[in-house]
Amino acid sequence: MFFLSFGKHFNTMSDSKTQKIKGAQPPVEHTGLELTEPKTVAAGMGALKSSVEQIVNEMSLAKGWEVLKEMNQKDGFDCPGCAWPDPDDKRSVLGEYCENGVKAIVEEATDKRADPFFFKKHSVEELKEKSDYWIGKAGRITNPMFLDEGATHYTPISWEKAFSIIAEELNALSSTNEAIFYTSGRTSNEAAFLYQLFVRELGTNNLPDCSNMCHESSGVALSETLGIGKGSVTLEDFEHADLVMVIGQNPGTNHPRMLTALADCKKNGGKIISVNPLPETGLIGFSHPQKPLEMLKGGTKLTDLFLQVKINGDVALLKAIMKTMLDEEEKNPGTVFDLEFIKNQTNNYEAFIAELKKIKVEEMAAICGISAEQIQEAAQLIMQNKNIIICWAMGLTQHKNGVANIQEVVNLLLLKGSIGKKGAGTCPVRGHSNVQGDRTMGIWEKPKPDFLNKLKEVFGFEPPKEHGVDVVEAIHHMLDGKAKVFFAMGGNFLSATPDTELTAKALQNCNLTVHVSTKPNRSHVIHGKRALILPCLSRSEKDEQASGEQFVSVENSMGVVHSSKGKLTPASPHLKSEPAIVCELAKAVLKDKTKINWDEFEQNYDNIRNKIEAVIPGFDNYNTRVRIPGGFYLPNNAREADFTKTSTGKANFTVHTVQKTELKEDEFLMMTIRTHDQYNTTIYGLDDRYRGILNERRVVLMNKNDIRKHNLYLKARVDLSSHFENIERVAEDFFVIPYDIPEQCVATYFPEANVLVPLNQTAEKSNTPASKSVVINIKKRPL
């Protein structure tokens, strides 16, 4: 056996190691790695079997069926998982959900309880040593819990006392900007609107959210080029698309119901190009689990052309494709580009073409790792088709050039006139179920003046004009002592953010940390001097207020706003809804200073929706339209081919340089990914079934040539390290797994590898952490 040797970069003496904080990272524990062949068809019997197993682990099959038959139905509740839209018309009586939706809802509706006895039994120090999987499986939190300064255990606390502690800390701040109010994408429209309203009446715009870490790059890119930070397509558009490109996305694991839309495209004669560093099962084939005959036939082949791009080689690939198209257009003008659309609807075309002419396809091919022949094949497919949809996710957004990545996608669509018509357009595939709705409701650290002016007009207070902090800036503020209170409305902030050890230190610098949660997570054990956990109702539970049973609303990934009404008895009588928590918090903190009647909002959510209608465009007759089964579409100028909302009044072509990461011989470019048994930071199980990696999370996927070159081998135990701004970050004890991935590219799971993502390595303009392009070293562990 040989040890990996490293160059000067690994041994730089000036590097200082990030201070290790107990419990910040998931513990190093190996659970029995098993390997099988990667799957070639997603869903099918495997998804059915996995779903049943998840149900019986958390509840009875009878209860599981009662829960699932209500999920994503027009009179039911919205899936607490992803934001993929439901069909506008008829929905399956067997169930409008996928395997991951089953996992999400059974964890939410579980019979297990993290009650006061659980917290009495397990000290915070003990919980720090547990895995994220173990912590998440503890069950639903039943009571408000409090950790006093110096205490070893969380103890029950009354809601009144909990709100009093928060009020005491917030009112003691020298500036309201010393408080951070984070939001996850699970929050309903009603809760999000109230939350931002309270925070702004308090006097700050410090409203970072999970969008800062995922699709912020999409929002910036699309707003600049098309005048709206949302995608332009509807679910129906997939039935009319000639060609769908899926770039930097793994729908089989992250948005399984999207596979049905892709299969519909194929059945109607459409083609699919997938672009990704890893071949993902969900883009190879799909077997609909509700269609036995299709399962017997082996499912539907999806991808027609797979382009295995190097990590962050997307701009080079897109430029090479567009240059190939330009060469053909110049030979036969008007046969490739939609010149009428370009002339009438776009700006900056000449500058874009002038830059594109300088491109050499061979150079781009070397950078992106795609052969000139495959580039030609991709260009031909695009040239031959008019109605084109391009979908993307974190594989494009989480790079230094994340905004440029998406704007190159827009450039390609503009050349074809494939925006603002049926079967064509942009499709950023959002993550959590209401992450897009949160932003619509005003959860943003950079609010627009029109929105703030409306708040003033409707509510009679002067909202703060100064921009607040995003996620990365919030961590810096806590590290620097500029922020002393951290409040999280949902989510698992520590495990979702980059630079785990620095984020942990930031949270520990706070006087008070507060988490509104349904289940325990790692953020509860890395806390401020004092800490509170406030348990809330889940999406699937009945919400009874003074005026009767309530419902909430959400916005899906394609701009449809619809109702969500829980059906289950709450897990505990001590739970409060998120709107109720915000209202009671506002009353406790603001007292007689508030100009808002919080009681009427808590008693009847129709009152919240009336105010949303008064403040936010597109919500006319909100209470009437949201009660229509299936909901309603919000206005979308790009969908209507109206680009007057941009700075130029037209859709803008943009010019970007190619990002090329120069790696030393002993360096690798790492991207963080999810397993199939995971959604965001929630770990449902320990298997990555589609990739054939079972019962283990601490793995690094490597090209077999790299393994051989560096004297490694299957299941070799290694440490991973990154070096940025003279700081060494280390993730210990991973197994090496040979995998089909380009050379000098590696993949690891998050949150285990988040510690390697530098806090200050972010996307230009959007400040999104560059979690998909981290330069690392790999060192074999001593035997």
Task: Give pLDDT tens digits for 43-102.
Answer: 888 888 888 888 888 888 888 888 888 888 888 888 888 888 888 877 776 677 888 888
When mean pLDDT is compared across 24-28, 63-67, 382-386, 675-679, the lowest value belongs to: 63-67
**SS3 (DSSP) at 685:** coil
More confident residue, 339 or 298: 339
More confident residue, 513 or 19: 513
Which residues, 6 or more positions from 510, have their beta carbon under 8 angstroms from its beta carbon? Answer: 478, 483, 484, 485, 486, 528, 529
- Predicted confidence at residue 307, as pLDDT, reads 98
> Residue 25 falls within a domain, yes or no?
yes
Decide if pLDDT at 10 tops 80. no
- Predicted confidence at residue 84, as pLDDT, reads 86
Task: Please tell me the total count of domains within the chain.
Answer: 4
> Residue 772 falls within a domain, yes or no?
yes
- Predicted confidence at residue 783, as pLDDT, reads 79
Secondary structure of 159-204 in HEC code, one letter for each residue: HHHHHHHHHHHHHCCCCHHHEEEEECCCCCHHHHHHHHHHHHHHCC
Residue 485: phi, psi to the nearest 5? Answer: -130, 130
Of 580, 597, 614, the domain-final residue: 597
- Predicted confidence at residue 181, as pLDDT, reads 98
Is residue 582 within 8 A of residue 516, CB to CB? The reply is no
Is residue 516 within 8 A of residue 542, CB to CB? The reply is no
- Long-range pairs for 416-419 at CB < 8 Å and ≥24 separation? 416/337, 416/338, 416/382, 416/386, 416/388, 417/338, 417/340, 417/341, 417/342, 417/345, 417/386, 418/338, 418/386, 418/387, 418/388, 418/389, 419/226, 419/232, 419/638, 419/641, 419/651
Considering the domain architecture, whether residues 530 and 496 belong to the same structural domain is answered as yes
Considering the domain architecture, whether residues 359 and 235 belong to the same structural domain is answered as yes
> Residue 609 falls within a domain, yes or no?
no
Global confidence as pTM = 0.95
Which range marks the domain in which residue 717 is found?
A: 16-30+665-780
- Predicted confidence at residue 190, as pLDDT, reads 98
Task: State how far Cα 6 lies from the chain centre.
Answer: 35
More confident residue, 298 or 358: 358
Considering the domain architecture, whether residues 543 and 680 belong to the same structural domain is answered as no
Query: Pick from 100, 98, 72, 75: which is nearest to 86 by CA?
Result: 72
Considering the domain architecture, whether residues 414 and 491 belong to the same structural domain is answered as no
Residue 177: give its domain's CATH number.
Answer: 3.40.50.740
Considering the domain architecture, whether residues 356 and 391 belong to the same structural domain is answered as yes
Is residue 232 within 8 A of residue 638, CB to CB? The reply is yes
Cα angle 282-314-428, degrees, rounded to a multiple of 5 = 55
Decide if pLDDT at 385 tops 80. yes
Neighbours of 304 (CB within 10 A): 15
Tokens at residue 470, please? Answer: 């995003």
Considering the domain architecture, whether residues 339 and 408 belong to the same structural domain is answered as yes
Considering the domain architecture, whether residues 329 and 233 belong to the same structural domain is answered as yes
**SS3 (DSSP) at 296:** helix
Considering the domain architecture, whether residues 235 and 319 belong to the same structural domain is answered as yes
Q: How far apart are CA 659 and CA 556, in angstroms?
A: 32
Residue 134: phi, psi to the nearest 5? Answer: -65, -45
Q: How far apart are CA 226 and CA 353, in angstroms?
A: 19
Considering the domain architecture, whether residues 463 and 351 belong to the same structural domain is answered as no
Residue 22: give its domain's CATH number.
Answer: 2.40.40.20
> Residue 627 falls within a domain, yes or no?
no
> Residue 335 falls within a domain, yes or no?
yes
When mean pLDDT is compared across 68-72, 103-107, 313-317, 708-712, the lowest value belongs to: 68-72
**Residues facing residue 390 across a β-bridge:** 245, 426
Query: Pick from 216, 255, 263: which is nearest to 767 by CA?
Result: 216
Kindly tell me the sign of the dihedral angle through the C-alpha atoms of 395, 698, 767, 617.
positive
Query: Pick from 438, 420, 65, 98: which is nearest to 254 by CA?
Result: 98
- Predicted confidence at residue 91, as pLDDT, reads 75
**Containing H/E element for 43?**
strand 42-43
Residue 713: phi, psi to the nearest 5? Answer: -160, 170
Considering the domain architecture, whether residues 710 and 573 belong to the same structural domain is answered as no
Decide if pLDDT at 233 tops 70. yes
Task: State how far Cα 473 lies from the chain centre.
Answer: 19
Please state, for a pLDDT cut of 90, what percent of the chain lies above it.
Answer: 84
- Rounded mean pLDDT of 708-733? 96
Decide if pLDDT at 688 tops 60. yes
pLDDT in tens, 547-564: 999 999 999 999 999 999
- Long-range pairs for 359-362 at CB < 8 Å and ≥24 separation? 359/319, 359/320, 359/322, 359/323, 360/323, 361/320, 361/323, 361/324
Of 398, 428, 458, the domain-final residue: 428
Of 359, 394, 428, the domain-final residue: 428
Considering the domain architecture, whether residues 193 and 259 belong to the same structural domain is answered as no
Considering the domain architecture, whether residues 290 and 313 belong to the same structural domain is answered as yes
Task: State how far Cα 322 lies from the chain centre.
Answer: 29
- 497 φψ region: left (φ > 0), alpha (ψ -120 to 50), beta (else): beta
Q: What is the DSSP letter of 332?
A: S
pLDDT in tens, 300-356: 899 999 999 999 999 999 999 999 999 999 999 999 999 999 999 999 999 999 999
Is residue 500 within 8 A of residue 494, CB to CB? The reply is yes
Q: How far apart are CA 380 and CA 387, in angstroms?
A: 14
> Residue 637 falls within a domain, yes or no?
no
- Predicted confidence at residue 94, as pLDDT, reads 67
- Predicted confidence at residue 289, as pLDDT, reads 76
Residue 405: give its domain's CATH number.
Answer: 3.40.228.10
Q: What is the average pLDDT score of the chain?
A: 94
pLDDT in tens, 120-171: 999 999 999 999 999 999 999 999 999 999 999 999 999 999 999 999 999 9
CA diameter of the chain: 76
